[in-house]
Amino acid sequence: MAKLPYGGIDLSSPLNPENNLRTEAVLAWLKLRAIQQAMENNQPIHPALQHWLGRAIESSNKDAGKLLRGLGLRRTKGAPSGFSDSERMKWAQRVLDKRNEGLPIEQSIREVQGEISNTGKSEPDRATLRRWVEELKWFLEEIRRETED
């Protein structure tokens, strides 16, 4: 993986080539492991992880299948709405790419919002895009720690 000054990875290369898990499932298991470790060590759970888990639980309406789909552990039925974990990672990486080009964070976010809008999807607000960037940075840090062990 290429090291970038503001963090980031080449999303064209697989995250875990030795197994057949989808990127979303790999990301979900890493997030769940981080939550488990925080709980075992009596440490606070990262806010991005709290939001991710809470959103999945709330949208599941007590349906186990919906919960697993919300966590990214089961494929969605039909056409998914919104953004999948891999899409959020892709767009967060685009913000980091723009930062690496020397653009300020707000300009990077505005340009990526335009790129998203050009795909036909409604663009997320600035706070959401910032949260995606923070989630990606957290994910990359977890990958780095996993590879050091």
In this structure, is residue 18 part of a structural domain? no
Residue 18: predicted pLDDT: 40
* Backbone phi, psi, residue 144, to 5°: -60, -45
pLDDT tens digits, one per residue of 13-48: 444 434 444 566 777 888 888 899 899 999 999 888
Domain span holding position 111: 23-148
The whole-angstrom separation of Cα 72 and Cα 66 is: 10
pTM here is 0.51
**CA distances in angstroms from 77 to 19, 42, 119, listed in the order given:** 23, 36, 22
* Number of domain units in the chain: 1
* Of 104, 96, 83, 98, nearest in space to 133 by CA: 96
Which of 91, 98, 86 has its CA nearest to residue 22? 86
Asked if residue 3 is part of any domain, the answer here is: no
In a domain, 38, yes or no: yes
Q: What is the pLDDT of residues 70-87, one digit of tens each?
A: 887 776 554 444 787 778
CA distance 56 to 70: 5
In a domain, 6, yes or no: no
Of 54, 78, 95, 72, the C-alpha closest to 15 is 72
Tokens of 29: 């298991």
Is residue 3 pLDDT above 80, yes or no? no
Q: Is residue 15, in this structure, part of any structural domain at all? A: no
- 75-89, 100-114, 118-132: segment of lowest average pLDDT: 75-89
Q: How far is Cα 28 from Cα 42, in angstroms, rounded to an integer?
A: 21
**Which has the closest alpha carbon to 35: 48, 22, 20?**
48
Is residue 105 domain-resident?
yes
